[in-house]
């Protein structure tokens, strides 16, 4: 148990003032090695430096009021200062020494904190060249109970940071706030000291090494979107890179290896990449501590001739990841990376923006369209989702059918067809007025979502494993989109009713992480009573979102969905998602 008498006394006084009961009995001690950590396990201090800084980082925890640390020092180091996170509003207690252990922390009278943040930055004095170490030997986490008492959780993390002397020298940049998060804006140079980021250019490669403190500060100052994802921004400017053709941004992986939904937005002159949490699968990550994003500008003249003809003078980049500085082959269907390529279309391309696409060069040198890629005029970028890294570029293409020239859904059909999401009944015909089957609509819906779920359990009795729609139907089942029609049957060849389409579409928004929440009354529609009970909520949400509006005051819930109508609603979903 810890002996932090000053903190205990202050907490006791607060309990008397509120008034509260004194501490309840301590909970049984546990390790806490995964909960309380140093931001790095090793620090190499420059030969000319006499100080270095390292952070104490806390993982996710139930709400608590106070945190107390005991740190034991070995070797020729001393604590110079302790700077707490600005989010900590409680009273701080200065460093005291007892039995060779430094005790410090903060306390509050309410459970303000949930962990998962940088608690403090400790600056140490370091003299000589001998190795040294600092170990978090004790931690107390105190929670104010509903009854007015306090529960104290005693931990023994035992995490150590090793300190050595290096011969590295250089200068560093800094951190400034702005935009939608915190921007790391550095000049050239190199540094091994923690508490700052370093950048250098070597053989046409610009490397920005973002340290733990900078990354965590950026994350703490980031913005949270409607899906609860907090995004931090790291920025590399044109003035930083000079004439470098390759940009590498090294990140501490701890900020992406969290139970919280997070992402890091890396902005560069060659493109912007948004990296989601857990982008690297655990089996591939191993014990690696840094993830480096590499963006290389590609000269189109080095591409295969067929790719050169399709890409022309449009931008091309190569994307890759490195773990602890070593290149890896990356793919992850469950954690796609968002890529944004700056692009200025020609006047002709602006007239048909649906034909501006993203593509990658496959192993055979062929151009493959990325279904999620499309041009966003307001941002001047082509944005797409990448589930693997390769050489990517901007291309244009057109796909149409001879029987849709007068169709009201022509633009929707063409936009999906050119991306390979929807196909015709033949190479030249689409049959826009024909009914669409449950199997075909489900296949198209899963195609728009870009999902491929791991299926477990039994399938549907009437969906054979060799059917062209088997994978799509099983993915839809795994995602909760399709539950069948009873008797363990899916009825794949049956036509889709409009109300069934609305149920599937509303569930698709939820499966994609964009659930519809608002509802609208159905009473204004003449045939509202025809909507089945199981479909009413989905129909209500789609009307409220503006995706479904009906025609002539009717919803036509029992009518069969045509292929043209399917293309229209799927294109609306596509534009909402991408």
Q: Please, which pLDDT band fits residue 265 given cuts at 50, 70 and 90?
A: very high
Residues 6+ apart with CB under 8 A from 350: 377
- pLDDT single digits (tens) 187-217: 332 222 333 467 777 788 999 999 887 888 8
The DSSP bridge pattern shows strands 66-74 and 101-107 to be antiparallel
Q: Please, which pLDDT band fits residue 156 given cuts at 50, 70 and 90?
A: very high
Check: CB of residue 333 under 8 Å from CB of residue 478: no
Distance CA 69, CA 136 (A): 7
Check: CB of residue 111 under 8 Å from CB of residue 144: yes
For residue 21, the model assigns a pLDDT of 30
Residue of 217 and 379 predicted with greater confidence: 379
For residue 514, the model assigns a pLDDT of 87
Distance CA 514, CA 505 (A): 12
Structure tokens at 550: 């009906």
Q: Please, which pLDDT band fits residue 457 given cuts at 50, 70 and 90?
A: low
Check: CB of residue 217 under 8 Å from CB of residue 175: yes
**φ, ψ for residue 405 (rounded to 5)?**
-55, -35
Element (H, E) at 125: strand 113-126
List where CATH 2.60.40.680 sits in the chain: 5-165
Distance CA 312, CA 308 (A): 5
Residues 6+ apart with CB under 8 A from 147: 21
- pLDDT single digits (tens) 410-455: 999 999 999 999 999 999 999 999 999 999 999 999 989 988 766 6
Distance CA 486, CA 481 (A): 15
Among 10-19, 202-211, 270-279, 534-543, the range scoring the smallest mean pLDDT is 10-19
- Cα distances from 563 to residues 264, 268, 420, 438, in angstroms, run 40, 42, 15, 11
Q: Can you say how many angstroms the Cα of residue 377 is from the centroid of all Cα atoms in its chain? A: 24
For residue 136, the model assigns a pLDDT of 96
Give me the architecture of the 5-165 domain, per CATH. Sandwich (2.60)
- How does the average pLDDT of the chain come out, rounded? 85
- Cα distances from 407 to residues 215, 431, 432, 574, in angstroms, run 52, 10, 7, 20
Distance CA 419, CA 489 (A): 31
- Conformational region of residue 157, where left means phi above 0, alpha means psi within -120 to 50, and beta covers everything else: alpha
Say what the alpha-carbon torsion angle 460, 465, 470, 476 is, to the nearest 10 degrees: 40
Q: Which residues pair with 324 in a beta bridge?
A: none
For residue 371, the model assigns a pLDDT of 95
Residue 543 reports pLDDT greater than 80: yes
- Read off the pLDDT of each residue in 280-288 and give the average, rounded to a whole number: 92
For residue 174, the model assigns a pLDDT of 35
Check: CB of residue 94 under 8 Å from CB of residue 127: no
Residue 233 reports pLDDT greater than 80: yes
Kindly report the length of the chain: 578
Among 24-38, 140-154, 362-376, the range scoring the smallest mean pLDDT is 24-38
Where are the alpha helices (H) located in 131-273, listed in sequence order? Answer: 212-220, 238-241
Distance CA 230, CA 278 (A): 14
- Read off the pLDDT of each residue in 241-270 and give the average, rounded to a whole number: 91
Q: Which residues pair with 466 in a beta bridge?
A: none
Check: CB of residue 220 under 8 Å from CB of residue 186: no
Q: Which residues pair with 375 in a beta bridge?
A: 382
DSSP state of 554: B
For residue 454, the model assigns a pLDDT of 65
In this structure, is the dihedral angle defined by the CA atoms of residues 142, 144, 146 and 149, taken in order, positive or negative?
Answer: positive
Distance CA 454, CA 471 (A): 10
Core vs surface per residue 225-243: b (16+ CB within 10 A) or e:
eeeebbbbbbbbeeebbee
Exposure of 186 in the CB half-sphere (CA atoms within 13 A)? 25
Element (H, E) at 124: strand 113-126
- Read off the pLDDT of each residue in 237-252 and give the average, rounded to a whole number: 93
Residues 6+ apart with CB under 8 A from 239: none
For residue 40, the model assigns a pLDDT of 85
For residue 30, the model assigns a pLDDT of 58
- Read off the pLDDT of each residue in 279-284 and give the average, rounded to a whole number: 93
DSSP 3-state helix, strand, coil percentages of the chain (rounded to 5)?
20, 35, 45
Most confident of 118-127, 193-202, 404-413: 404-413
- Read off the pLDDT of each residue in 497-506 and give the average, rounded to a whole number: 94
Residues 6+ apart with CB under 8 A from 9: none
């Amino acid at each position: 148990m810890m002996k932090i008498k000053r903190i205990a006394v202050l907490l006791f006084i607060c309990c008397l003032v509120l008034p509260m009961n004194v501490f309840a009995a301590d909970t049984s001690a546990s390790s806490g090695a995964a909960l309380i950590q140093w931001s790095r396990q090793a620090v190499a201090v420059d030969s000319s430096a006499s100080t270095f800084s390292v952070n104490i980082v806390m993982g996710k925890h139930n709400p608590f009021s106070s945190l107390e640390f005991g740190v034991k020092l070995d070797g020729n180091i001393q604590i110079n200062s302790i700077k707490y996170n600005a989010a900590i509003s409680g009273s701080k207690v200065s460093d005291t020494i007892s039995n060779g252990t430094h005790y410090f922390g903060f306390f509050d009278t309410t459970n303000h904190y949930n962990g998962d943040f940088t608690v403090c930055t400790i600056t140490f004095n370091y003299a000589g060249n001998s190795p040294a170490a600092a170990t978090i030997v004790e931690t107390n986490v105190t929670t104010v109970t509903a009854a007015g008492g306090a529960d104290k959780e005693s931990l023994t993390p035992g995490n150590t940071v090793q300190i050595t002397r290096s011969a590295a020298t250089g200068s560093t940049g800094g951190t400034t706030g702005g935009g939608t998060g915190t921007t790391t804006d550095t000049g050239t140079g190199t540094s091994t000291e923690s508490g700052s980021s370093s950048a250098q250019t070597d053989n046409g490669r610009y490397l920005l090494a973002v340290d733990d403190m900078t990354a965590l500060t950026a994350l703490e100052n980031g913005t949270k979107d409607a899906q609860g994802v907090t995004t931090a921004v790291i920025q590399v400017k044109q003035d930083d890179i000079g004439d470098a053709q390759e940009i590498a941004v090294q990140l501490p992986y701890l900020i992406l290896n969290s139970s919280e939904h997070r992402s890091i937005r890396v902005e560069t002159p060659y493109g912007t990449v948004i990296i989601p949490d857990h982008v690297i699968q655990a089996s591939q990550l191993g014990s690696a501590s840094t993830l480096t994003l590499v963006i290389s500008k590609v000269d189109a003249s080095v591409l295969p001739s067929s790719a050169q003809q399709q890409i022309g003078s449009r931008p091309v980049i190569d994307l890759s990841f490195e773990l602890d500085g070593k290149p890896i082959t990356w793919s992850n269907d469950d954690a796609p990376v968002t890529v944004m390529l700056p692009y200025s279309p020609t006047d002709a391309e602006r007239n048909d923006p649906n034909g501006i696409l993203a593509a990658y060069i496959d192993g055979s040198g062929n151009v493959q369209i990325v279904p999620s890629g499309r041009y966003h005029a307001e941002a001047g970028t082509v944005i797409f989702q990448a589930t693997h890294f390769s050489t990517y570029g901007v291309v244009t293409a057109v796909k149409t059918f001879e029987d849709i020239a007068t169709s009201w859904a022509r633009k929707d059909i063409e936009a999906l067809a050119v991306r390979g999401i929807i196909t015709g009944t033949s190479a030249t015909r689409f049959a826009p007025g024909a009914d669409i089957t449950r199997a075909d609509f489900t296949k198209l819906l899963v195609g728009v979502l870009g999902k491929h779920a791991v299926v477990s359990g039994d399938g549907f009795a009437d969906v054979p494993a060799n059917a062209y729609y088997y994978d799509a139907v099983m993915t839809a089942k795994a995602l909760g989109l399709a539950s069948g029609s009873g008797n363990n049957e899916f009825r794949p060849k049956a036509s889709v009713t409009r109300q069934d389409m609305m149920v599937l579409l509303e569930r698709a928004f939820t499966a994609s992480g964009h659930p519809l929440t608002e509802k609208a009354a159905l009473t204004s529609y003449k045939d509202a009573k025809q909507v089945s009970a199981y479909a009413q909520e989905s129909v209500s949400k789609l009307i409220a979102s503006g995706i479904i509006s009906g025609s002539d005051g009717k919803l036509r819930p029992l009518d069969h969905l045509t292929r043209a109508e399917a293309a229209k609603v799927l294109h609306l979903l596509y534009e909402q998602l991408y």
